[in-house]
Amino acid sequence: MVGPKRPLFVLFGSSIVQLSFSNGGWGAILSDIYARKQSPWHPFMFFNDSMLIREADVISRGYYGWNSRRAIQVLDQVFPKDAAIQPSLVIVYFGGNDSMGPHSSGLGPHVPLPEYIENMKKIAIHLKSLSDTIRIIFLGCPPVNEAKLRETRSPYLSELVRTNELCRNYSEACIELCEELHIKVVDLWTAIQKREDWLNACFTDGVHLSAEGSKIVVEEILKVLKEAEWEPSLHWKSMPTEFAEDSPYDLVASDGKTTLNPSEWTFHREIQWD
């Protein structure tokens, strides 16, 4: 454990989460955006061993191939209720594997839609029970490139049924549930398809997100964080920067007499996120 101790932003889900730190993924982008951001002084802030826990750490709890049925089996292990520190924000994604067509053997990741809804409800209720200040965002099921999926089908796997229509059904169910439970939700199925070249630009293999697809996810998450009436705000621009004070050890300016404080510099980013 290294300091300063920080509140946690946890990404929980299937391969869309596990791969979110690979190849310009959305988890890596969020980690960069929040690298030096603190929570402002507020009762929301955590205390542990008399130390103030301030800055946001973005961590992944992603599991390739998982569905919501498997997720609820480990909720108490991933998010124990007696943990000394609870997450400030949890971003949840399950649905892509659940929405796959059932296999004749009865094996495989398919989860019937009514059960998927119930499982996601159980996840939401468990997370809400962790603390009074926890914030939750669900990601709806994104679309898929069916033609690309057929091209990249593995000879080691039985035929997989993934269709955009099935994804839409599970996405709509997730959104409806979130509205019922007053949970923030990102409609990825719609957001990704707003881009004209989404079929080829947003996926690596027809289902997993490319860097371009991840940019859309980040944009939509930041939009939710900016618009949410949460106190304190978890939007990165509303959070002060850690160790932001001027220092004589900062880079020397061209006048040779003053220094330039780099703590707020973001020019290294390909996109200047709002």
Considering the candidates 14, 20, 39, 88, report the single residue annotated as catalytic: 14
205 tagged catalytic: yes
Angle at CA 212, nearest 5°, toward 211 and 216? 110
Considering the candidates 15, 60, 208, 214, report the single residue annotated as catalytic: 208
Rounded CA gap, 199 and 197, in Å?
6
- DSSP label at residue 231: S
76 tagged catalytic: no
Q: Determine how β-strand 57-62 pairs with β-strand 8-13.
A: parallel
Token pair recorded at residue 268: 């290294």
Rounded CA gap, 112 and 171, in Å?
13
Considering the candidates 103, 205, 238, 250, report the single residue annotated as catalytic: 205
Q: Determine how β-strand 259-260 pairs with β-strand 184-186.
A: unpaired
Rounded CA gap, 187 and 172, in Å?
8
Catalytic residues: 14, 205, 208
